[in-house]
Structure 1
Amino acid sequence: MSAPDPFEQRRQQRALKAAERLAKKDGHRCHDCGHKFARLKMSRCPACLDKRSDQEAALRERHSHQALPTLVQDRLLKQLAAGEDPVQVCAELNITTQRIYHHRLYDPAWEQALDEALTAGRAAGLEHGHSSTYKWDRCRCPECKAAHHPKEPVFDLEGMAARDRRRRAEKRRLRRWEVVQRAKEDRETHPVKGPVGPGALNDP
């Protein structure tokens, strides 16, 4: 019986390692549903990622309501209607200005109440409805905000929510496309050749 060829042994070892890498990627199971899919730095399949994105959106909405309770809302609206600076008021209440504006996505009534308070507390000696008033005089009334952000209207909450959903859907489609492309490239880069199995290395 002739001695095994060392070059053939190395080739079989490389083929076995490539098969193991491919099995790890193609044989990975989703953490949620348990189905096999190409892993590629992902712990969940694309279908579960879509479900998880909806769950995370609901979680963000719940956190927004918890961070801005009714007592804080009433005090904030009262101080804004009195003409105080929104930045200083938010600092006193230990919240961010992004929080009070972002909460409009989850509570349309809050958006209306916030605009009414900002309108009631704005300075009377300024010319409202201009971008310069928003930028230099720091007026945050609805008219000045609409003039400063003409491409993204403040009042179009449904449009903002729809745009957010479209962006999330586009990211999910791009993520799925990248998964498929990377899986194809990996199979082309590491093709499985020759016999692969537990006894492949011991065969003469």
Structure 2
Amino acid sequence: MHQKRPHVLGIDDGPFRKQQDGEVPIVGVVMEGATLVEGVALTSFPVDGAEATAFLADWVRGLRWMASLHAIVLGGITIAGLGVVDLRRLAGELDRPVLAVTRRETDGSDLAAALHAAGLSERMAVVERTPPAWRLERGLYVRAAGVEAAEAERLLRATLHKARLPEPLRVAHLIGAALVNGQSRGRV
């Protein structure tokens, strides 16, 4: 899988308020390397919904770009609040590396407390199976499934441009914010 400009799907959810009912937009952006957007996909997922892994696997398998994807990058191990994603299971079901990238290190205690408070403690089993995180340059923390650390880092470096986040994930984040708020926020 040694592509100079890998095709990577970045997935992020739109912003929402705690205790919000309803659905949250989920945005997927396919990019070749760090500069060419090849496609955008939209769906939605219930706030704190169950079976986030199965949902993402079904959605990604149905995307027209699936055959050309080299990896999937998520903005953490949850979507739409407390929808916990099993990175190893998702990587296995899609037969692609799955990387979870965050800007800060976490030991899972905040997530554990939120799951407990919401009466969703059974999801902690998925959190406990999550691969350990390591620090990449630019202050990113990475968890990877379905790929060795060196290859995960190579994939991520190929998708970094000027920002700290991989471009497919950053663009998905911007689109998600615009869908909810009418415009994205952040630096120009």
TM interval, shorter chain, is: under 0.3
When normalised by structure 1's length, the TM-score is: 0.25
Determine which structure has the larger helix proportion and give its number.
1
Computing the radius of gyration over CA atoms, which structure comes out larger, 1 or 2?
1
